[in-house]
Structure 1
Amino acid sequence: MSDGYRNRTNNAVLMKDDVGKAKPTVYSLPHEGHAYGRSEPADVEGAREVTMHWAAHVPRPKMGPETQDFRKLNRAAAKSGVRHAKDLAEFRKGVDIKLIPSGPSGCLPKVIPSDVIPSFAYGQKSRPSTPIAHVVGNTYAMEYEEVMEKGYRALEQDKLVYSKTKIKLTKAAKDRIVAARSRNMMEMLNEAPKEPFKLSKFKKVTARIVLPGLSKASSMPNIRAYAQPEAMSAAEMDTADYDDY
């Protein structure tokens, strides 16, 4: 059976398809741009209107003085022997029982600040935001430099007009100063010269070193008298053997 015959028969079973392709249709279909299905009319509110607009809640209107009390009407109808809804409608036409508004239950609502001042804000006030413009513009550094410059100018002016400040002492302060000075002077006069500290075993040790030629010095008698009271004479010192010391 040839391919042409299969296409002419319009039999879905005999139609031959290519590998990787769908079978050609045997029905007379509309053009390729045709959309199948039913076209629904567009909604008045799309996704943008629903998500970008908020519908505020509208509370139910409160019952006014013309509202009837249906509970009392039903009780009165039951006492009058009304058994059907039709009889109840006729009964309501002739009986009018108004609803008495009930008073507030419990404690009265407290008045909060936002009820009196709409712009009132609750919570603890946080610190103000950092002025980035002043930080980047180096405003604080320039202000500090101006303050420092004024301080230096004021210091220079003070130095130009500076004068010694004389401290005026009271009579009691003068007396204390004079007494302290006199006391220090008396201590200096009465204080005996202190003997240098020396161990007891070295107090009686005399000098043993005698350098050659010192006997001819003009200060030798004073040195000998201070260092060795029982010193040898100059002749004995000259004849002494230096190696023995």
Structure 2
Amino acid sequence: MGPLDSMDGAPRQGVQRTSQATNVLLTPSELGKVKRITTNLPHEDFAYGLPRPRDAEGAREVSMKWVEHRPNPDAKPGPDFKAMNKLAAMHEKTNSKEQRDFRDQHPKTLKQGAVENKLKQKQPLPSDHNPHHTFGRQTSCRPVEETRLTG
């Protein structure tokens, strides 16, 4: 079958160009079959795209090992906007320009270090001391209000 013949082998009618044989949009498709290839493909060992080196640390390594965040000890604390806005309100600075100027004149920074760690100390739970402690209540002991609401 020549490049200008139709799929059934009959010659095409009308204007015939050699580019018609390689134009994907002009090639007819047969029912139940893949469209025929109109371009010259490279050899079988040809790889499309750039080969990228594999990362040694993949998803499995990342998800199977949990590392807690450790803050940088040399980092400077950021501005404490809550304290500065409260102080500005106490000095009757009501609009945004007055508050910005007041914050520039009276900067406050967030507390960092030992004071912050004391605030974040974990309170002991009852289950820490008693391994048989369970939280919640038994389902048989429902109050009247809950029974009325849920049925």
Asked whether the two chains share a fold, i.e. TM above 0.5, the reply is no
- The TM-score with structure 2 as length reference comes to 0.33
Greater helix share, structure number = 1
Greater relative contact order, per chain length (Cα 8 Å cut-off, separation 6+): 2
- The TM-score with structure 1 as length reference comes to 0.23
